[in-house]
Homo-oligomer: A and B are copies of this chain.
């Protein structure tokens, strides 16, 4: 396929290289032109504007830093929308806002072009090693068309339906999960260190008990299904344990804001009559706050 690739950062460059390796004809663009040079040696054509990369492409892929970079390259002067042929498809892999993804959905539709959102999970090394996980959403015909490219970028693909911005929400939710785990780890290390535990020792426990174990997967499954009874570990015991952690924090003088948040949610669960459900019924509370119909 004739492909335009916008953005030669530490993610975009190895992704473009993988498309070249899969036999596609690739034109690349980067705001700082020098970063595009290495791709030329590997067979890419370097162009001067996003529009030039899109001009006669069947598919143009963009992988940029943030909303303003994407907005400029797609909707700005000499941008993708103005140049992409009717019927060709824009694949947006950047981590951007839902609002911008919705604006691009409309702009491409108005121009008779296709638009697919396809953010990726993985670091630059994963991009280089074709180990990214791609999540995608958009009109079925467009996704069908670009699927060979998406599968050339990584080790797997989850398709999320016809609303392109849904893939952006999933990418943002994934980064939110990582940040949450880091915050939880940060507080746990602070608490254990100030209680006299070597950081290396707590790391050893974490690796032995949690890392690569099915525990998070199992809880994710329970929350996905909204199945909170019978309780494996009752929510009121969750309240007990997080309260004990907070007391340990007061004892050692360690603030634990995430634990405070959990305590409030567990206590809400108990106050609302869910004390004997499984502690993963945190999932039910989140749904109720959001005004979603109850599961389970």
A interface residues, Cβ below 8 angstroms from B: 66, 95-99, 121, 123, 133, 135, 156, 158-161, 163, 165-166, 168-170, 172-217, 219-221, 223-226, 232-233, 238-245, 247-268, 270-273, 279-280, 282-283, 285-292
Contact = CB atoms under 8 A, between A and B. Distances in A.
Contact of A196 (B166, B183, B184): B166
A212 B210 contact: no
This protein's copies in its complex = 4
Given A186-B285, A186-B286, A224-B200, A172 B262 contact: no
Contact of A97 (B192, B214, B244): B244
Contacts of A182: 219, 223, 279-280, 282-283
A204 B158 contact: yes
Contacts of A180: 180-181, 183-184, 258, 262
17 contacts: A95-B244, A97-B247, A121-B209, A170-B202, A173-B202, A174-B206, A176-B242, A177-B210, A186-B282, A191-B290, A203-B224, A207-B220, A211-B220, A212-B213, A254-B289, A257-B257, A260-B260
A177 to B, nearest CB: 5
Contact of A271 (B97, B221, B239, B254): B254
A251 B174 contact: no
A210 to B, nearest CB: 6
B245 A196 contact: no
Contacts of A268: 255, 289-290
Contact of A184 (B97, B172, B177, B233): B177
A160 B286 contact: no
Nearest to A265: B183
A183 to B, nearest CB: 5
A216 B181 contact: yes
B247 A99 contact: yes
A96 to B, nearest CB: 7
A176 B185 contact: no
Given A173-B191, A186-B223, A199-B224, A289 B261 contact: no
Contact of A188 (B121, B177, B199, B264): B177
A111 B251 CA distance: 26
Contact of A251 (B99, B196, B223): B99
Nearest to A272: B291
A156 B292 CA distance: 42
Contact of A273 (B195, B213, B291): B291
A210 B170 CA distance: 13
Contact of A259 (B176, B187, B208, B240): B176
B206 A220 contact: yes
Contact of A190 (B192, B193, B204, B290): B290
